[in-house]
Amino acid sequence: MRFLLRPGWLALTVVVFTFAVCCYTLLAPWQFRRDGEQVAQNNALATSFTAKPKPAAELLPQNATPDQNTEWHLVAITGTYLPSAEVVARLRTVQGEGAYEVLTPLRATDGTVYLIDRGFVRLDDKSGVLPYAAAPGGQVSLVARVRSDENDPKHRDAFSDASTNGKLQSYTVDSRVVAKSSGLTIRPGYFQLDQKQPGVLGALPLPQLDSGPYFSYALQWLAFGTMALLGWLYFTIRELRPGGALTTERPDRTRRKSVAEMLAEDEDEYTPTA
């Protein structure tokens, strides 16, 4: 068993067990979580196709933050758009092409301010935002899908430049960014318009109801971790047997004779003795 303490074998053992632990505790659970999120999204979307919209204050009471239990559900909101606080989200991709998403706050009749994602507009030949229709004035009643705020790891504020003709733009669709730039108190999350809703531009396409590869990926990581451990066990057992590659004490092997030695032996054998 002394070979188990050799530096090379110890390094191999550390690598194998570290990889297996990562497979079991990090990589496979990560894929299982993604599969669970995908299933929840699909269920929410499938339900929204037939369910009637609920009042936003009922589905998300007391400024509750959207989560996987409420995201994608339809809510009804009545209020007035606030175009002066509008922000466009940059660096978006819609159906494989670059786009901006237009985010316009809306003050509901109860005073709550919602961030409405009115959809997308395409880029011009200089990667700027093309002209688009303004939000309708006066009171409107609309139906939108609940969405969770996106997160910017760099926590960048909204800014303006020539590409958006002076309009504020952000790197994410995030109610907190728009609230900071406008000074409004906006409830968490944002609300995505479907087609034929007041103020909608290019309606964003909905995700496909596809389970995705996450569950099979999780099983693959479990298999990889198991294979690594079984491989380590196989080579350990092999080294415990006599003649293992790392065994220090080997049985003596008969040295192969050289051609000169064999010729000398033949000469001695046939030389007549006196």
The pTM assigned to this predicted structure is 0.69
Instruction: Supply the pLDDT for residue 242.
Output: 64
Instruction: Supply the pLDDT for residue 265.
Output: 67
Instruction: Supply the pLDDT for residue 269.
Output: 63
User: Contact 181/85 with Cβ under 8 angstroms?
Assistant: yes
Q: Which residues touch 95 (CB under 8 Å, ≥6 apart)?
A: 205
Q: What is the domain partition of the chain in residue ranges?
A: 1-51+213-248, 53-193
Instruction: Supply the pLDDT for residue 244.
Output: 56
Q: Phi/psi of residue 256, each to 5°?
A: -70, 130
Give the pairing of strands 54-55 and 97-108: unpaired
Instruction: Supply the pLDDT for residue 9.
Output: 80
Average pLDDT, 10 consecutive residues per value, the chain (274 residues): 72 91 94 85 77 90 87 93 95 91 96 96 85 94 94 92 83 96 95 94 84 88 94 84 56 56 63 58
Instruction: Supply the pLDDT for residue 237.
Output: 83
What is the rounded CA–CA span in Å between residue 254 and residue 123? 80
Instruction: Supply the pLDDT for residue 243.
Output: 59
Instruction: Supply the pLDDT for residue 253.
Output: 52
